Amino acid sequence: MAAETSVEAEPTRPQLHAAAATFALLGSPSRLHLVWLMTNEPADVSTLAARAGLSVPTTSQHLSKLRLAGMITARREGRQLFYSVDDPHVRTLVEQIFGHIAPDGTLAPDPPSG
């Protein structure tokens, strides 16, 4: 009996490394919270820091890492930068994980089928 073949190609080494780096960035609860906040509405560093319960310098460091990784974008308005998640893949990833995890931290039940 022949082994079934997958329709999708197996990930390449560079894809695996890039995916692992993405998950590592989002492995910080603080960064994940910031990304979640920015998927819902653009915000400046002070607003993000206050909402996430972080200092402005710490928030700036997290935003810098996320920007370098291409996960967030910044738009200047006057003297302020507003950060957001514009990449639909990142938005979907964040939506999916919080759809998978219930508010109490347990796995959320699967939606009814049918």
Closest CA relative to residue 30, chosen from 58, 8, 7: 58
CA pair distance 34, 44, nearest whole angstrom: 11
pLDDT of residue 69: 94
Prediction pTM value: 0.86
What are the percentages of helix, strand and coil residues in the chain, rounded to 5?
Answer: 55, 10, 35
Q: Which domains does the chain have, with CATH numbers?
A: 27-100 (1.10.10.10)
Predicted confidence (pLDDT) per residue in 59-105, tens digit: 999 999 999 999 999 999 999 999 999 999 999 999 999 999 999 99
CA pair distance 34, 21, nearest whole angstrom: 17
Predicted confidence (pLDDT) per residue in 13-70, tens digit: 999 999 999 999 999 999 999 999 999 999 999 999 999 999 999 999 999 999 999 9
Inform me whether the pLDDT recorded for 113 exceeds 90: no
